[in-house]
Amino acid sequence: MSSAGSGGRVLAAHPGDPKRVGPYRIIGRLGSGGMGTVFAGLDAAGLRVAVKVVHPAQADDAEFRARFRREVQLSARVQGPCLVPLIAADAEAPSPWLATAYAPGLTLDRYIAAHGPLAGGTLYAFATGTAQALAAIHAAGVVHRDVKPQNVILTPVGPRVLDFGIAHAADGTSVTRTGILTGTPGWISPEHYRTGISGPEGDMFVWGALIAFAATGRAPFGGGAPDSVAYRVMSEDPDLRGLPGELHAIVRSALAKEPGDRATAWDAAETCAVLLAAQATQVAPTGAEPTLVGDLVAAQWAVPTLDDPNWRRPARSSRRLVGIAAVVGTVIGGLAGGALALQTDKTETASTSSRPPASASPSKTATMPASASPASSQAVVEAASSPTPANADEATIATWRAARRAKGEAEIETEAALGHDLSYGMGEDYNYSGQYDVGYAPARRELYITISGPAVESRIVQGVAKNACLTLRMMAGIYKSLPYDEYVLVDNTTPTAPAIVWEDDFRANTGCITQTIDRTATDAGQAPSWHPTEQGLAAAQIPSVDQREIRVATEAVHQLFVDWNANSRLFDDPRYISDENTSIGFAPHEGVMYVWATKPEWDQSTREEWAEAAAGLACRTVLAESRAGQGWGYAQYAVAVLDGGGSTDFLRWGTAGSCAS
């Protein structure tokens, strides 16, 4: 869905426009396109969002709605730099909608019309950031298919690629009807013109055209009648006059006529990052420390903040709730729908109660290393009874209690961003409804995030750690004066015994990589506080493109075949399982590995026996991967038997800690 106006000022609402969409209050329009309308919205805390609502004609199409639902699920997997991620969506609404963070700034075409082409470090940062965004989209098995200047925002902290929220699965499906060519002339690949189908290689062709346009202000295949443009795209060389020589090779590779001859997004991102680093070296003072690529994009970026006075926040009479003035890609959490947890009054002073006014978030090196067992991890969980630190550099319950409330714009906006992102990122879709408070210890360079509410599981710790890291890195890019680099996560779900459960350095952890295992093993037979869902199983049934997930699933299901089929008479035995009826998959938004068999002929006794075997294997698998290394996002498992007619029987589920012994 195009959003030609989404980078600029809010436009007046039209007669008949909705007053609310989902949890968002609509204050105007940001743009429109063939698929729907993009509205400017505010959540309860005043956070700005772009809400895209599908046109009624599309909503009445059952085929479209089914594909929209699937593509939203796929898009929820996309995480990476220079993207405007999905916050929430409702594919079942009368008019399906999705919401993304609002990216302030002009679209590339409008910026060039006002200020001319990009140059110097800004151009190389643009090329690097957009290539990284496409690499992240493609790694999630999604194809953008609508890369163009109108879908790239030049925000104050870097470029942001829009509209992968209604993207397309890499298997070639599309939310448009077969046989109808979609796209903007000049921003369509040769194979898309020829066949109407385009994969990741098509995105890269248009990326090459995008970089040429950004550098020269001209479309590389010219303008005019659509059929003339199409002919030049398919048959003629691009016009790259004015493109810096260092970029020629990678742009020409991307613009190759044959898809197989083009650079991948990852190749382009790496090449452009090297060029960007060279640009930074040319202007860096002698002896300067090397800078990480993600920081280089922001450091070399020279686009001013665009003031948009048409945004209006709801009036607040009883409490001071401050939203984010410039939100850029703040939420990495998928389709979370939890309500924002309102913060307590900012003027409250520190107390000596077990629940201080400040809170904690992950910091330093993670306090639950991959090699830890639930027993050993207790050594790094500091209870209130241990006020004196073994190491003065480590956060303690005492330093948590001493942390103060937010002061000044940067801290207040950071608290609002964390409250929003964590509440949405770990909301109802994660079966967790906790609240998050934030406290600050500037002398220690520590920021604390406290979780209060239901007891936390390892997946909650890991999810909060990752989302907090991502948000803090973004806010540090906006507010260069923020003096913090450590974030500490405090479990205050039992106020009489608060505990530090995570510490990490968000500036050093550039990928916001986290891992954990369940820190409190579930007693045998005790039901966990969560339950697997049909939505999670549906997400797990989408084929994964993550190489680690594929390896783990392949090895685990093979072992399950060996264990279960040992006493079977193979194909003529109704107990026999195979690739045709048994699978393992992953639900990233839940942090659950699902194991399921489609065996309607099994009686309940056989189901229970199989579930016991499958659950044991699944538990050991997620535990082993949690201990094996960083980046593993699954600490829970669920086992089900399907009857093939739509009925699901969830038989076993649990957390990694329950099988640690």
Q: Kindly report the average pLDDT of the chain as a whole number.
A: 74
CA nearest neighbour of 501 among 360, 342, 611, 334? 360
pLDDT in tens, 216-254: 999 999 988 888 888 899 999 999 999 999 999 999 999
Q: What is the mean pLDDT of residues 627-649?
A: 81
pLDDT of residue 577: 85
Lowest-confidence range among 71-75, 365-369, 413-417, 453-457? 365-369
Q: Give the residue, 305 or 438, on which the prediction is more confident.
A: 438
Contact (CB, 8 A) for 486 and 444: yes
pLDDT of residue 312: 52
Q: Give the residue, 389 or 100, on which the prediction is more confident.
A: 100
Q: At what angle do helices 200-216 and 108-115 cross, to 10 degrees?
A: 10
pLDDT in tens, 351-363: 323 333 333 333 3
Is pLDDT above 70 for 339?
A: no
Is pLDDT above 60 for 123?
A: yes
pTM for this model (two decimals): 0.49
Is pLDDT above 90 for 564?
A: no
Q: Where are the alpha helices (DSSP H) in 17-119?
A: 56-59, 62-75, 108-115
Q: How confident is the model at residue 3 (pLDDT cuts 50, 70, 90)?
A: very low
Is pLDDT above 70 for 37?
A: yes
Distance, in Å, from the CA atom of 591 to the CA atom of 424, rounded to the nearest integer, reads: 15
Q: What is the mean pLDDT of residues 310-333?
A: 35
Q: Give the residue, 595 or 177, on which the prediction is more confident.
A: 595
pLDDT of residue 194: 83
Quick count: other Cβ atoms within 10 Å of Cβ 448?
30
Percentage of the chain beyond pLDDT 70 is 72
Residues in contact with 247: Cβ distance below 8 Å, sequence separation at least 6, in sequence order: 123, 124, 127, 211, 215, 272, 275
Contact (CB, 8 A) for 114 and 13: no
CA dist list (Å): 430 to 60, 410, 532, 636, 657: 30, 29, 10, 12, 18
pLDDT of residue 124: 93
pLDDT of residue 495: 82
Residues in contact with 155: Cβ distance below 8 Å, sequence separation at least 6, in sequence order: 103, 104, 105, 303, 326, 328
Is pLDDT above 60 for 390?
A: no
pLDDT of residue 307: 60
Distance, in Å, from the CA atom of 536 to the CA atom of 590, rounded to the nearest integer, reads: 7
Q: Give the residue, 159 or 325, on which the prediction is more confident.
A: 159
Q: Where are the alpha helices (DSSP H) in 148-304?
A: 190-195, 200-216, 226-235, 245-254, 265-283, 293-300
Contact (CB, 8 A) for 358 and 400: yes
Q: Which two tokens stand for residue 570?
A: 């193979």
pLDDT of residue 259: 92
pLDDT of residue 103: 84
Contact (CB, 8 A) for 649 and 658: no
pLDDT of residue 129: 92
pLDDT of residue 251: 96
Highest mean pLDDT among 360-369, 460-469, 570-579: 460-469
pLDDT of residue 450: 93
Q: How confident is the model at residue 483 (pLDDT cuts 50, 70, 90)?
A: very high
Q: What is the mean pLDDT of residues 426-453?
A: 81
Quick count: other Cβ atoms within 10 Å of Cβ 320?
10
pLDDT of residue 272: 92
pLDDT of residue 21: 93
Q: How confident is the model at residue 199 (pLDDT cuts 50, 70, 90)?
A: confident
Q: What is the mean pLDDT of residues 163-167?
A: 56
Q: How confident is the model at residue 490 (pLDDT cuts 50, 70, 90)?
A: very high
Tell me phi and psi for residue 642, to 5 degrees. Answer: -105, 150
Q: How confident is the model at residue 282 (pLDDT cuts 50, 70, 90)?
A: low
pLDDT of residue 369: 30
pLDDT of residue 183: 64
What SS3 state is found at 568? coil
pLDDT of residue 526: 39
Angle 534-539-541 from CA coordinates, rounded to 5°: 95
pLDDT in tens, 530-548: 788 888 888 888 877 778 8
Q: How confident is the model at residue 432 (pLDDT cuts 50, 70, 90)?
A: low
pLDDT of residue 575: 83
Percentage of the chain beyond pLDDT 90 is 25
pLDDT in tens, 579-634: 778 999 998 877 889 999 999 889 888 999 999 999 999 988 988 887 776 667 78
Q: What is the mean pLDDT of residues 96-123?
A: 90
Lowest-confidence range among 475-484, 505-514, 557-566? 505-514
Q: Look-up: residue for tokens 């008949």? A: 16
Q: Which two tokens stand for residue 484?
A: 């913090």
Is pLDDT above 90 for 524?
A: no
